[in-house]
C-alpha cells in the first residue's frame, strides 16, 4: 500500500493544514482508518484559487492535442497505481474488488474519451459567417464564434463513486478537456483514495510541463472549504454530485454571489419504472428479477436506482409481486458507504413502516450490525390513489423500492404527470404497448433526461450520446449532462470575433482551418477553408 500524507495538494505543494483532522471509516467494521486527513486552511483555499487563476491564463491556450495528451497521461498514471488505489478504496467503501476494478477502468476510459474530444477539436462549435461588403443597405461584417473555457472550476467528490465521480471523474475530465483549471474538494468518505488519484494527476501536470495551478486537491470534513470555494470570486463554475440538501445549498451560494456562476449539481432521483400490460403478461417474472438486481445493485446507492415501480392491477401483477418478494426476502445484507447514509436509510425505512398508506411487502433479514453500516433490502407496496395523495417519490438512498398498482390508464397517466424531475424513466412494454401509450413517452420526455425501454436504468454508459441529467430536482440544470462527451459544454461559453484579421483569430476560426475541424460556414457544416 502506498504511503499517504493526509495533506491537501495545492498545485505542486503539500498543504500544512489546520488543527482539524478527519479519518476515513471502514463501513464493514465502523473502525477508522489511518492516517488522519488535515483540513485545508482558508489561506490554502486562497492559494489554490490564485494558482488556478494564474495557470488558466496559459492552460486555456494550449492545443487540444496537448490537453488530450494530459488527459491520457492521467489515465496512464492511475493505471500504474491501480492496485494501491483499489486496495485503499476497498477499505474506505467496503465495495468489492471487481466493482472497483470496473470503476477504475471506467474512469480511465472517461479520461481517454475526453482526450479524444479535445484532440479532434470540433466540440468548440466554430461558426463562421463570412463578410459581404456588397450587401445593401449595409455591408455585412465577418463574424466568427466558438466556445471558450470559463476559468477555474471547483468540483465536489461524490460519496458513492470513489473513482468515476471523484477526483479524476467526469466533472474533472470534462472541465480539463475544455481548457479549465480544477480545484477538487475531496469527499470525506474516501480521502485516501482521493489522495492517491490526486497525486497521479499532480504527476501528470508535471510530466506534461503544465502550469502548477492546473489542479489542486483540498481536504475537509465539514463545509467551510466548499463554501469558501463556491463563493470565491476567482472561481467561475462548479460541479457537484450528492444529496439534494447539500446541492441546493451550494446552488444558492453560487447564485447569490455578486457575480453568479453556473453550478451543475446532480442531486436526487427516484427513477420511475412503468410496466405496461403487454410486457407484464409476456415476461412479468423476468422483469421482477431484473428489477431486483437493479435496485439492490451497489446496495441501492446509485443515483439511477429504480425507486418506484408502476404496474396495472391485473392477474399477472400477483405473480410479478410474489417473484419480487421472494427475491427480496432472500437478499443478503449490504454495507452502506457512510454512517450518514446508513442513518438516513434506517430513518427512511422506519418512516415507511409507520406510514399507514403503505404496506410492508418484504424486508430481508439483517445480519448483526455491530459498528458496521449494515442494511437490508426492503420492498413496500401502495395503490395509485395513495401515491398521488402523498410525497412518496422522494429518493431513498439504499436497497429499497416501492410498488404502486394503478387501476386504469388514466391513473397511470396522472401519476406520470405528477412526477418531479428525475434522471431516468424506464418503460417495459411491447411494440403494441408503445403505440397505445405514446402519450406516456411524451410526458416522460419533459420529466427525465434518459428514457430506457425494456432495460434498467442502473449502468450509465460513457458515450457521446449519453445524457445523465434531468429537470430539477434531479439536477440544478436539466439542459446538461454529467456523463458522456456532451458534459464538456457545461464548462464553456461562446465568444464572438467580429472583423478580426485572420492572423489574430484562434486556430479554430482561421481561414485555412489548420485544425481540420468541422465548422459551420455560412450555415453549412464543412471542414473546408473559409
- How many structural domains comprise the chain? 2
Q: What is the pLDDT of residues 111-169, one digit of tens each?
A: 999 999 999 999 999 999 999 999 999 999 999 999 999 999 999 999 999 999 999 99
| Residue of 103, 195, 303, 316 with catalytic role | 303
SS (H, E, C) 93-147: HCCCHHHHHHHHHHHHHHHHHHHHHHHHCHHHCCEEECCECCCCCCCECCEEEEE
CATH label of the domain that carries residue 442: 3.40.309.10
Residue 76 class from Cβ within 10 Å (0-12 exposed, 13-18 middle, 19+ buried)?
middle
242 and 308 together in one domain:
no
248 and 279 together in one domain:
no
Query: Within a domain: residue 466?
Result: no
Q: What span, in angstroms and rounded, lies between the C-alpha atoms of 21 and 25?
A: 13
Task: For residue 128, list its beta bridge partners.
Answer: 144, 521
The predicted structure's pLDDT at residue 368: 66
DSSP code for 333 = P
409 and 485 together in one domain:
no
Q: Which of 127, 92, 91, 86 is nearest to 108 (CA)?
A: 86
Which of 405, 437, 453 is at the close of a domain?
453
Q: What is the pLDDT of residues 414-453, one digit of tens each?
A: 999 999 999 999 999 999 999 999 999 999 999 999 999 9
Under 8 Å between Cβ of 239 and 247: no
250 and 323 together in one domain:
no
103 and 193 together in one domain:
yes
Query: Within a domain: residue 36?
Result: yes
Whether 20 sits among the annotated catalytic residues: the reply is no
CATH label of the domain that carries residue 76: 3.40.605.10
Residue-range definition of the domain harbouring residue 284: 272-453
Q: Which of 301, 274, 273, 266 is nearest to 470 (CA)?
A: 266
Q: Which of 254, 336, 264 is nearest to 296 (CA)?
A: 336
What is the mean predicted confidence (pLDDT) over 345-373?
89
Whether 436 sits among the annotated catalytic residues: the reply is no
Query: Within a domain: residue 195?
Result: yes
239 and 113 together in one domain:
yes
Query: Within a domain: residue 128?
Result: yes
379 and 230 together in one domain:
no
**How many CB atoms lie under 10 A from the CB of residue 193?**
29
Query: Within a domain: residue 148?
Result: yes
Query: Within a domain: residue 499?
Result: no
Query: Within a domain: residue 420?
Result: yes
SS (H, E, C) 268-283: CCCCEEEECHHHHHHH
296 and 185 together in one domain:
no
108 and 194 together in one domain:
yes
Q: What is the pLDDT of residues 235-282, one digit of tens each?
A: 999 999 999 999 999 999 999 999 999 999 999 999 999 999 999 999
Under 8 Å between Cβ of 280 and 314: yes
Q: What span, in angstroms and rounded, lies between the C-alpha atoms of 64 and 116?
A: 9
Side-by-side strand order, sheet with 524-526: 492-498, 143-149, 127-129, 519-521, 524-526
| Residue of 195, 266, 316, 395 with catalytic role | 266
The predicted structure's pLDDT at residue 2: 75
Q: Which of 100, 89, 78, 101 is nearest to 24 (CA)?
A: 89
Query: Within a domain: residue 2?
Result: no
DSSP code for 32 = B
Q: Is the pLDDT of residue 17 over 90?
A: no
382 and 444 together in one domain:
yes
Q: What span, in angstroms and rounded, lies between the C-alpha atoms of 67 and 113?
A: 12
414 and 327 together in one domain:
yes
212 and 295 together in one domain:
no
Amino acid at each position: 500500500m502506498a504511503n499517504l500524507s493526509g495533506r491537501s495538494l495545492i498545485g505542486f505543494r503539500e498543504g500544512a493544514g489546520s488543527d482539524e483532522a478527519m479519518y476515513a471509516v471502514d463501513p464493514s467494521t465502523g473502525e477508522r482508518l489511518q492516517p488522519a486527513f488535515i483540513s485545508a486552511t482558508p489561506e490554502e483555499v486562497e492559494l489554490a484559487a490564485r494558482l488556478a487563476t494564474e495557470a488558466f491564463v496559459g492552460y486555456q491556450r494550449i492545443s487540444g492535442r496537448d490537453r488530450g495528451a494530459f488527459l491520457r497521461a492521467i489515465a496512464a498514471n492511475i493505471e500504474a497505481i491501480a492496485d494501491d488505489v483499489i486496495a485503499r478504496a476497498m477499505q474506505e467503501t467496503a465495495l468489492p474488488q471487481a466493482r472497483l476494478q470496473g470503476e477504475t477502468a471506467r474512469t480511465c476510459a472517461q479520461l481517454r474519451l475526453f482526450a479524444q474530444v479535445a484532440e479532434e477539436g470540433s466540440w468548440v462549435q466554430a461558426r463562421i459567417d463570412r463578410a459581404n461588403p456588397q450587401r445593401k443597405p449595409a455591408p455585412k461584417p465577418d463574424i466568427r464564434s466558438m466556445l471558450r473555457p470559463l476559468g477555474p472550476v471547483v468540483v465536489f467528490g461524490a460519496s458513492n463513486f470513489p473513482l468515476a465521480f471523484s477526483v479524476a471523474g467526469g466533472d474533472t475530465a470534462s472541465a480539463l478537456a475544455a481548457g479549465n483549471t480544477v480545484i477538487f474538494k475531496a469527499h470525506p468518505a474516501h480521502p485516501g483514495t482521493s489522495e492517491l488519484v490526486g497525486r497521479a494527476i499532480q504527476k501528470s501536470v508535471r510530466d506534461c510541463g503544465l502550469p502548477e495551478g492546473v489542479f489542486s486537491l483540498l481536504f475537509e470534513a465539514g463545509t467551510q472549504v466548499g463554501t469558501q470555494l463556491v463563493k470565491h470570486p476567482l472561481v467561475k463554475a462548479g460541479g457537484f454530485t450528492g444529496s439534494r440538501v447539500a446541492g441546493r445549498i451550494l446552488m444558492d451560494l453560487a447564485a447569490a454571489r455578486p457575480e453568479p456562476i453556473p453550478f451543475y449539481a446532480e442531486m436526487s432521483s427516484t427513477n420511475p419504472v412503468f410496466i405496461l400490460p403487454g410486457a407484464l403478461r409476456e415476461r412479468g417474472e423476468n422483469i421482477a428479477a431484473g428489477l431486483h438486481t437493479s435496485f439492490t445493485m451497489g446496495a441501492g446507492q446509485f443515483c439511477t436506482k429504480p425507486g418506484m415501480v408502476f404496474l396495472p392491477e391485473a392477474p399477472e401483477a400477483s405473480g410479478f409481486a410474489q417473484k419480487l418478494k421472494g427475491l427480496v426476502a432472500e437478499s443478503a445484507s449490504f454495507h452502506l458507504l457512510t454512517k450518514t447514509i446508513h442513518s438516513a436509510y434506517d430513518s427512511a425505512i422506519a418512516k415507511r413502516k409507520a406510514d399507514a398508506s403503505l404496506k410492508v411487502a418484504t424486508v430481508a433479514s439483517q445480519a448483526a450490525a455491530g459498528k458496521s453500516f449494515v442494511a437490508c433490502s426492503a420492498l413496500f407496496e401502495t395503490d395509485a390513489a395513495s401515491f398521488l395523495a402523498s410525497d412518496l417519490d422522494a429518493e431513498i438512498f439504499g436497497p429499497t423500492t416501492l410498488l404502486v398498482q394503478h387501476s386504469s390508464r388514466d391513473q397511470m397517466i396522472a401519476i406520470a404527470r405528477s412526477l418531479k424531475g428525475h434522471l431516468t424513466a424506464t418503460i417495459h412494454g411491447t411494440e403494441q404497448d408503445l403505440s397505445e401509450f405514446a402519450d406516456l413517452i411524451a410526458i416522460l420526455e419533459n420529466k427525465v433526461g434518459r428514457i430506457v425501454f425494456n432495460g434498467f436504468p442502473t449502468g450509465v454508459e460513457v458515450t457521446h450520446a449519453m445524457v445523465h441529467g434531468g429537470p430539477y430536482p434531479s439536477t440544478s440544470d436539466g439542459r446538461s449532462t454529467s456523463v458522456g462527451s456532451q458534459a464538456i459544454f457545461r464548462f464553456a461559453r461562446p465568444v464572438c470575433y467580429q472583423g478580426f484579421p485572420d492572423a489574430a483569430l484562434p486556430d479554430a476560426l482561421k481561414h485555412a482551418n489548420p485544425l481540420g475541424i468541422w465548422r459551420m460556414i455560412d450555415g453549412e457544416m464543412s471542414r473546408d477553408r473559409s
